[in-house]
Amino acid sequence: MANTETLLRTPLFEAHQALGAKLVPFAGWEMPLDYGSILGESRAVRNGAGVFDVSHMARFWFRGPSAAAELDHALGGCVTDQPIGKARYTMILQEDGGILDDLITYRTGEDAYFMVVNASNRVRDREALVSRISETSFEDITEDGGGILALQGPEAWRILRELTGQADLAPGFLDLAWPASPFGELFIARTGYTGEHGYEIFVSAEQAVPVWNRLLELGVAPVGLGARDVLRLEAALPLYGHEIHEAITPFDAGLRFAIKGWKTRDFIGAEALRAKGDSVTELIGLTAEKRVPREGYPVLAAGEEVGMVCSGVYSATLDKPIATAYVRKGAEGPFSVSARGKEFAVERTDLPFVPHRSRD
């Protein structure tokens, strides 16, 4: 395999190898695509609990008395009114209102924000964010040897209690918690990327392997990035480079909730959002019979091209292909897609494909 020497490895790299994972280059890291079955791993999360190594995701700290005010200006979301001990989903916008990335902020103290952004955008996000702050201290801890384990699925709450030994542990949706555990104090957030009840566990270099091993011992299935993509698309959670990118505004993407005070607040991109008219495209869901409508396939209505597929996977939960697509607003079906010169029928479907249970 080319360039493996230059790829970064998470603290669980050897654990993945031992499990027979198919390891692939992803955003500069050597990551597990699957442990044998993308569909089987997807089902394990929906039916019980799975754990993903997402230690490739970029982790930043912002600290100092001006952190809240400066991040308020740097991000589309408002963090000043974010409660301490809560996570929040928002975005970094360009001046023109286009989406540079989506991210989660975690307020851990009055003057301390932790942030997780997409691995593929780490350097670019860092440059943009650092250029937007002046008084706030910034730290990129992505390569500190620690990582993130995402524990997801309807059994995740029970597993978390067993993992920590805290029988009453019950963080609410988007809550942060620092439970004691046999592995020392853990930093967890009730967040995830599957639409299921779940947690992201931020582990130190020393905690990563023991926590991972204990989760497997408790019957949690190891799940790769292939299934992660299936699960997030089933839940219609956007992915940078697909549903969201520089040429798309949060409004085009149907993600207005991630932006706060766009009519009144002063943040980078706000002016452009105020000046922009209504979106001319909309994000829709598609299902198909057999073939997967894949990224980049043109979407047709009555033979005319009306849009393009953003993401497509085979849904393990619905047992059929699903996709998202941007189409011209008001375009009416029946829709089809053109796959390598061959047309096949698709059906417009409400999003998400699989209902969210993350608040359950």
Partner 1 sequence: MRPSDRSYLDSHEWAQLDGDVVTVGITDFAIEQLGELVYLDLPSTGTAVSRGNSFGEVESVKAVSDVNSPVDGEIVEVNEALPDSLDSLQNDPFAGGWLIKVKVSGAAALDGLKDAAAYEDIVASES
Residues that bind partner 1 (CB under 8 A): 34, 37-39, 226, 230, 290-292, 294, 313-314, 321, 339-340, 342
Residues 6+ apart with CB under 8 A from 196: 45, 46, 152, 153, 154, 156, 231, 357, 358
Please report how close the Cβ of residue 37 comes to partner 1 at its closest, in angstroms.
7
Please report how close the Cβ of residue 121 comes to partner 1 at its closest, in angstroms.
23
Residues 6+ apart with CB under 8 A from 84: 107, 108, 109, 110
β-sheet bridge partners, residue 285: 324, 349
Please report how close the Cβ of residue 292 comes to partner 1 at its closest, in angstroms.
6
β-sheet bridge partners, residue 328: 281
Looking at the Cβ atoms of 203 and 339, the one nearer to partner 1 is: 339
Looking at the Cβ atoms of 259 and 323, the one nearer to partner 1 is: 323
Looking at the Cβ atoms of 291 and 356, the one nearer to partner 1 is: 291
Measured distance CA(283)–CA(307) in Å, rounded: 10
Pair of tokens at residue 264 = 């009144």
Q: Which of 173, 197, 202, 221 is nearest to 51 (CA)?
A: 221
Look up residue 257 and give its amino acid. F
Please report how close the Cβ of residue 295 comes to partner 1 at its closest, in angstroms.
11
Measured distance CA(133)–CA(130) in Å, rounded: 5
Q: Which of 50, 55, 53, 26 is nearest to 37 (CA)?
A: 50
How big is the CA angle at 254 (ends 329 and 256), to the nearest 5 degrees? Answer: 130
β-sheet bridge partners, residue 346: 288, 335
Looking at the Cβ atoms of 263 and 340, the one nearer to partner 1 is: 340
Looking at the Cβ atoms of 292 and 346, the one nearer to partner 1 is: 292
Looking at the Cβ atoms of 34 and 252, the one nearer to partner 1 is: 34
Please report how close the Cβ of residue 96 comes to partner 1 at its closest, in angstroms.
34
Please report how close the Cβ of residue 17 comes to partner 1 at its closest, in angstroms.
15
